[in-house]
Amino acid sequence: MAYRSGRHFLQVPGPTNIPDRVLRALSAPTMDHRGPEFARLTGEVLGGLRRVFRCSGPVLVYPSSGTGAWEAALVNTLSPGDRVLMFETGHFATLWCGVARRLGLEVEFVPGDWRHGVDPEVVRWRLSRDRRGEIKAVAVVHNETSTGCTSRIAEIREAIDGAGHPALFLVDVISSLGSIDYRHDEWGVDVAVGCSQKGLLLPPGLGLNALGERALEASREARLPRSYWDWRPMLESNAGGYFPYTPPTNLLYGLREALGMLFEEGLENVFARHRRHAEATRRAVRAWGLEVLCLEPEEYSASLTAVLMPEGHDADELRRVVLEEFNMSLGAGLGKLAGRVFRIGHLGDLGDLMLVGALSGVEMGLSLAGVPHCRGGVAAAMEYLTGTVRAGGERVLVSGG
């Protein structure tokens, strides 16, 4: 293939761009994973992850994708035949449901239209009807990566408590951790499932479980088969700074550097930056005359924006044109949204000029692909970005709407 000048624009909602500082950290020589220096590294990264999850309990790191972390959350807390309440908010919620069913769990999968998050009142209503406590867990995707809809985790916790139900609360934070405000302890989450390749600024390869006390108690009685995913050997080894098997040493180097970058910027500033870029993107979409897939402003994602194509036009053709002509990757529509939407990722290591460049690629691609639209989306985004910068480059904190 001929050389293409300039950097590739990776605007999928994960894996995301890896900062140069993290790339350099990943390239350091591998150390002895049984030595004292490694134990110090383990302590640093696990402590940093607790700050990002905002949890006081342990965080476990598996060499895995987020799918493995899904499985770990289920097999350590539940038993064969247990009932789990899950919600069809999009493609990844559907995949997690499939994992649960293959493990032998009985899933009640509440249908959804893929344009909304989980309705807390539906949670309250369903749990209130479960007077015998047959539902053992409620599992929710915080930010649905296929749709750009974010569920209101604090309100769902209130709904569970309002129903007086003892179900465990499991939350997928794969595309929200490090990008959208998440508060594990404050929101009463029992297990959170995360991964490395999105807001944590790393390549794929690390699956995460953040654990609450109720989850640890449940794990002592859970009877689903577990070996690799078993929390117990991980907890025992981590206590001394080690892992029960060979750890992904160089990814942990990168994680330490990435956590340092997040804390240097400040988590609140990180979240505000993501909200600001999301709002600029939505203003561009509306100026083009296109439609944001998510229908509820209070559920808009700060990590990505999914855009509906006009009737009769193929999102994958637009993505092909943008990739071939402008060396930029946009997210595909997944599952029942295949060909109907494209997704603009605006999470991770992203600055204003990077976002404007990405939106310019979309606007030019819409013209070349013959997609009906109005001009001026990039201008609308730039006007918003300019208006939310104070003198000296200080960012103005913005809300999610």
Q: Which residues line the annotated binding site?
A: 343
Tokens of 108: 């009640």
* Residues paired with 341 in a beta bridge: 308
How many whole angstroms separate alpha carbon 319 and alpha carbon 330?
A: 6
Nearest Cα neighbor of 57 from 214, 199, 206 is 214
Nearest Cα neighbor of 255 from 56, 21, 5 is 21
Annotated binding site for substrate: 343
How many whole angstroms separate alpha carbon 317 and alpha carbon 393?
A: 38
Please, what's the b/e burial string for 349-366 (b: 16 or more CB within 10 A of its CB; e: otherwise)?
bbebebbbbbbbbbbbbb
> CA geometry: angle at 195 spanning 190 and 199, to 5°?
105
Residue 27 CB partners (closer than 8 Å, separation 6+): 250
> Which amino acid is residue 216, in one-letter code?
L
CB 62 within 8 A of CB 195: no
Phi and psi based region of residue 302 (left: phi greater than 0; alpha: psi -120 to 50; beta: remaining): alpha
How many whole angstroms separate alpha carbon 340 and alpha carbon 310?
A: 8
Residue linked to tokens 């909200």: 275
What Cα–Cα distance (Å) separates residue 184 from each residue in 10, 42, 75, 165, 172? 30, 21, 20, 19, 11
